[in-house]
Amino acid sequence: MNASDPRPRRGMNFLSSVLGGLVVLVIGAGLIATDLIDVGDTKREVVTASPTSPVSDAGSEPSSDEGRSVSDIYKEEGRGVVFVKSQGVTSDSSSRSPFGGQQRGTATGSGFVIDKQGNIVTNAHVVEGASKVAVSFKEDTSDSVPAEVKGRDVSSDLAVLKVDPSKVEGGLRPVPLGDSSKATVGDPVIAIGNPFGFTRTVTTGIVSAVQRQIEAPNNFSISDVIQTDAAINPGNSGGPLLDAQGNVIGVNAQIATGGSASSGGSVGIGFAIPVNTLKKGLGQLKKGGEIQRGFLGVSTTDVTSEVAKQLKLAGEQGALIQQVTRGGPAEKADLKAGKRPTSSGLVAGGDVIVELDGKDVDSSQDLVAAVSAKKPGDEVEIGYQRGSSDKVRTVKVKLDKRPAKAQTQPGRGRGGLPRLP
């Protein structure tokens, strides 16, 4: 642990919802993962939770002067969208099942072909616990091809399946991957998938927001998520969100339910994992592994002007540590968590992380992105403020490998909302 001379920290106002740095999440409106599980004769949605703030729902359709026509994209790229059926799927009360306990049945979702070698992308939760996976390339889903789960990364909710190309009648039709960093609010988008088992259904909308943060099945945060008002429903999980040129910019994963998981349908707020996250880890997933990320071992909440005023902090930006994982890198580096609960549900007294390797950390999402971009064993320099001091201290921290599941416990977030720290 190395500490440098403290130095002043500039202030700036960064407004954000209370989100979980590396672990912490606020549950507002409920989100559900958009696959279907059939247990006996009953179909139900696999439920997840994630942070989001209510936003207005305004939709539009891509027009011909904004890119290719929807019909053209459907005819071409739609042929690369598949129906995924997983047997022996399990879910439990600690992940996404609202019913609790172990459930075994059949899950259906979507996926899309990414190359001629037979690799197919879907969501990790679609094939969770699957003993057998089949993929259909036709409207008739009974005509399917067996698939192998090559790699599955729960932290990003992504998986790669592999089929034998020689068994696919008519050959494979890869869907081109785009650049999610170019997605802009208002851009037209197209979703193709199999909602409620209706194969290759097309819906249109716009990019409603970018840089959202949702919760993965293992309770870690997924950053830079694309929000859309294109109708996404149970069964769309793993399907592509395409731009007006027919390029994949996201992998559809979750929808908001307005606080009622039983509603099960689209309310115009859907979330897609950015394709750039997929591209970064694609090589590891194809080889049968999971994406390796660094782990700091803290849960944090955003520092805003309101939080700074309430807790008497020096600055109005950064990631306020709420909890530190026992035995983790942050604890070993003597980074401190808060100890004084407040009426708002926040815990006062923790260090505020404001820099990582010399780059500003303005929010918890910044911290998530910065640490996730590192590998286990990497050494980083953390800049932080302690107490009400505006001086920035620094400490060297060696990152660990991210555990299989985030350690969470019940709590209360800002505004009385439940929080998973």
Q: Which long-range contacts (C-beta less than 8 Å, at least 24 apart) are formed by 332-341?
A: 332/1, 332/397, 332/398, 333/1, 333/382, 333/395, 333/396, 333/397, 334/1, 334/395, 335/298, 335/382, 335/384, 335/395, 335/397, 336/386, 337/298
Task: Respond yes or no: is residue 72 known to be catalytic.
Answer: no
Identify the active-site residue in 35, 125, 223, 372: 125
Within 10 angstroms of residue 381's Cβ, the number of other Cβ atoms is 14
Expressed in angstroms, the distance from the first to the final Cα of the chain is 26
Task: Respond yes or no: is residue 181 known to be catalytic.
Answer: no
Name beta bridge partners: 256. Answer: 31
Closest CA to 225 of 239, 208, 238: 208
CA distance 261 to 258: 8
Residue in this structure with the two tokens 């001629």, named with its chain if needed: 116
Identify the active-site residue in 16, 50, 144, 157: 157
The alpha-carbon radius of gyration of the chain (Å, integer) is: 22
Q: Where are the beta strands (DSSP E) in 25-91?
A: 25-26, 31-39, 42-48, 81-89
Closest CA to 134 of 157, 168, 100: 168
CA distance 257 to 36: 15
DSSP conformational letter for 238: T
Whether the Cβ atoms of residue 212 and residue 52 lie closer than 8 Å to each other: yes
- CA torsion through residues 102, 235, 402, 382, sign: negative
Identify the active-site residue in 95, 223, 237, 299: 237
Within 10 angstroms of residue 271's Cβ, the number of other Cβ atoms is 28
Burial 173-182 (b: 16+ CB within 10 A, else e): bbbebbebee
Task: Respond yes or no: is residue 243 known to be catalytic.
Answer: no
- CA torsion through residues 300, 303, 307, 311, sign: positive
Name beta bridge partners: 112. Answer: 81, 121
Q: Strands 158-162 and 119-122, how do they pair?
A: antiparallel
Closest CA to 37 of 272, 196, 151, 253: 196
Active site residues: 125, 157, 237
